């Protein structure tokens, strides 16, 4: 595909061509003329998140002076991130190259793909391109952060192509657990790259919008440089069940049930909501919705006609007292056992509107995300202690995944037939499993790249190789603070949570170094002072002795006094208690 042409030797011409980004090869032909073979620049692919983790998905596609971003998601904090609300990607690289950024394209409306958008836009503004429902959900986020008027949000239809210049992005209809999901065909001068986003191959989707497998095959016939594919379910053999298989299960649970039915599911799973709606209509029940994210999602989906429901089906949560139990369905968030979610508050008897009783059938229509198993089990136990009947995935097929298993991943590879393969969206073991599937499908091992966040992969028609790294860490959001909680703060929080705190307060004469008042010892999370008076008195005596010793050695430097006191007191307390609390000396001078 290289453009080759003959021209006379000219220094200015060669210089101009180099400035254009070409690499020039020279070779003499039979006519003793110089032949110039121009190689196009490499395409750079840089994941700033989404690898070796679930969430925080954001990928850079860079060609010469153009950057197009795919997705901009958040990650929920791990157990050791005490007090942290959200984790977003480090976009230092984007800030340094913001003049190159042409736009942000979004595969679908899940939090791990759109959740970081407001935070990133405050640092780097850029136009956004998304399908209808995805754009509506992004619009809500921009309004919450007072950014709606300063950001250009473009609605794109499935099948459309957005021309950014040298890079063109085609939106291809896909299937997932949320409507309007798309794959991307990213057309560049060095070839086409397919990015699947999150997907499953559902031949009987609830909305009838089947994945455009024909277009993928057509692009595959024309040649695909690289495939980036969702690895979430790459360890699972076979196929993911169709979302439509859930409908009969709901019907069986609803049929003949005299209890009030409470269904917890992912707020974003509009297709699941539609099937709950279908069963409620079929068996003559009204639906009340609890949970802000669920309410917002249903409002957005109904506004765009993505949920087919009678006008009088949904009632306000305050109206449930006007209906009998067998006339009601309550749809709620909290399928993952989140501490402040509606279902958890119901289970703990803390919900202001809904009180769970023994006449409730609770259906948890979701599988626990890895790491949430204990939280979900705790909620189920609490609901059962109240006396309610609980149905969850271990008891009935009330959930199917939104991600492709191995046979569906093979189908995409067979249609696309990429030269290079890059597994994305998954932890390391999932990326490895996807790599093994690709090898089974005949993709050469040397053409498969397991990359890391921040690693730069450059590729063209001839070769692909890693060429460096860029910053790609985690930025933690704590309340209104973005990035002001780092590893040191987290380490302090962990220390406090495990060992507690001792604060030493005293006043010293800055001339003599003698203690004027104190020391007072304040303990939090270490021991209860009244029950450990002897220990506290011993600590005070030790401090006086230490200060006296420092005075005898004529130590007058306050930082030295503090550090010496802290170190010696730590050793003293550990010898007495085998505990290691955080020690904070506060010394005032007079």
Catalytic residue, from 108, 403, 425, 434: name it.
403
Q: Are strands 515-524 and 481-485 parallel, antiparallel or unpaired?
A: unpaired
CA dihedral 528, 533, 534, 540 (to 10 degrees): 100
Task: Enter the DSSP assignment of 75.
Answer: B
112 in active site: no
- Contact (CB, 8 A) for 48 and 90: yes
Nearest to 431 by CA among 444, 439, 422: 422
The catalytic position among 90, 198, 230, 478 is 230
Edge-first strand listing for the sheet containing 314-315: 314-315, 286-290, 328-332, 260-264, 360-364, 389-391
- 159: phi > 0 → left, psi -120 to 50 → alpha, else beta; which? left
Q: Extract the runs of DSSP E, i.e. beta strands, from 64-117.
A: 66-70, 86-89, 101-105
- Indicate if 230 belongs to the active site: yes
Cα–Cα distance between 37 and 29 in angstroms, integer? Answer: 12
Rounded Cα–Cα distance for residues 346 and 173 (Å): 38
* Cα 409 from chain centre: 22
Whether omega for the bond prior to residue 519 falls within 30 degrees of 0, making it cis, is yes
3-state secondary structure of 484: strand
Provide long-range contacts, Cβ within 8 A and 24+ apart, for 209-214: 209/158, 209/173, 209/175, 209/179, 210/173, 210/175, 211/173, 211/174, 211/175, 212/158, 212/159, 212/172, 212/173, 212/174, 213/411, 213/415
Residue 14: name the closest of 28, 25, 3 by CA.
Answer: 25
Active site residues: 230, 403
């Amino acid at each position: 595909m290289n453009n080759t042409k003959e021209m006379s030797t000219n220094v200015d011409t060669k210089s101009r061509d180099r400035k254009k980004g070409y690499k020039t090869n020279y070779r003499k032909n039979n006519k003793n003329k110089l032949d110039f073979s121009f190689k196009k620049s490499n395409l750079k692919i840089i994941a700033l998140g989404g690898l070796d983790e679930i969430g925080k998905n954001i990928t850079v596609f860079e060609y010469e002076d153009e950057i197009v971003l795919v997705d901009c998601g958040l990650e929920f904090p791990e157990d050791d991130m005490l007090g942290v609300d959200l984790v977003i990607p480090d976009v230092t690289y984007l800030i340094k190259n913001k003049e190159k950024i042409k736009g942000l394209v979004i595969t679908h409306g899940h939090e791990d793909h759109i959740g970081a958008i407001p935070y990133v836009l405050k640092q780097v503004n850029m136009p956004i391109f998304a399908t209808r429902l995805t754009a509506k959900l992004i619009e809500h986020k921009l309004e919450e952060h007072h950014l709606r008027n300063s950001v250009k949000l473009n609605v794109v239809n499935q099948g459309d192509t957005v021309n950014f210049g040298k890079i063109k992005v085609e939106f291809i209809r896909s299937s997932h657990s949320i409507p309007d999901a798309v794959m991307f065909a990213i057309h560049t001068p060095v070839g086409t790259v397919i990015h699947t986003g999150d997907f499953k191959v559902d031949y009987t989707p609830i909305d009838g919008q089947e994945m455009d497998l024909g277009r993928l095959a057509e692009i595959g016939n024309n040649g695909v440089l690289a495939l980036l594919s969702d690895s979430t379910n790459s360890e699972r053999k076979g196929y993911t069940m169709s979302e439509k298989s859930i409908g009969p299960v709901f019907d069986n649970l609803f049929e003949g049930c005299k209890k009030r039915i409470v269904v917890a599911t992912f707020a974003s799973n509009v297709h699941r909501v539609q099937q709950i709606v279908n069963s409620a209509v079929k068996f003559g029940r009204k639906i009340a919705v609890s949970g802000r994210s669920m309410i917002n999602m249903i409002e957005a989906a109904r506004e765009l006609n993505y949920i087919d429901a009678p006008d009088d089906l949904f009632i306000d949560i305050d109206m449930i007292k006007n209906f009998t139990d067998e006339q009601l369905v309550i749809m709620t968030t909290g399928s993952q056992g989140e501490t402040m979610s509606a279902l958890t508050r119901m289970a703990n008897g803390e919900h202001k509107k809904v009180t769970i009783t023994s006449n409730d059938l609770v259906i948890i229509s979701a599988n626990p995300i890895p790491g949430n198993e204990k939280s979900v089990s705790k909620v189920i136990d609490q609901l059962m202690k109240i006396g309610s009947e609980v149905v969850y995935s271990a008891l009935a097929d009330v959930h199917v995944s939104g991600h492709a298993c191995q046979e569906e991943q093979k189908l995409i590879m067979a249609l696309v037939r990429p030269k290079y393969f890059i597994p994305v969206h998954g932890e390391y073991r999932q990326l490895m499993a996807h790599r093994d599937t690709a090898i089974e499908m005949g993709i050469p091992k040397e053409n498969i790249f397991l990359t890391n966040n921040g690693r730069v992969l450059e590729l063209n028609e001839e070769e692909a190789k890693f060429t460096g790294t860029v910053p790609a860490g985690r930025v933690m959001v704590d309340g209104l603070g973005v990035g002001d909680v780092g590893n040191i703060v987290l380490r302090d929080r962990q220390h406090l949570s495990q060992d507690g705190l001792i604060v030493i307060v005293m006043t010293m004469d800055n001339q003599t170094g003698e203690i004027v008042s104190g020391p007072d010892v304040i303990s939090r999370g270490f021991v209860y002072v009244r029950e450990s008076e002897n220990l506290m008195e011993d600590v005070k005596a030790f401090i006086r002795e230490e200060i006296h010793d420092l005075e005898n050695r004529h130590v007058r430097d306050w930082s030295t006094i503090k550090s010496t006191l802290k170190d010696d007191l730590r050793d003293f307390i550990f010898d007495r208690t085998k505990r290691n609390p955080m020690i904070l000396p506060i010394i005032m001078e007079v």
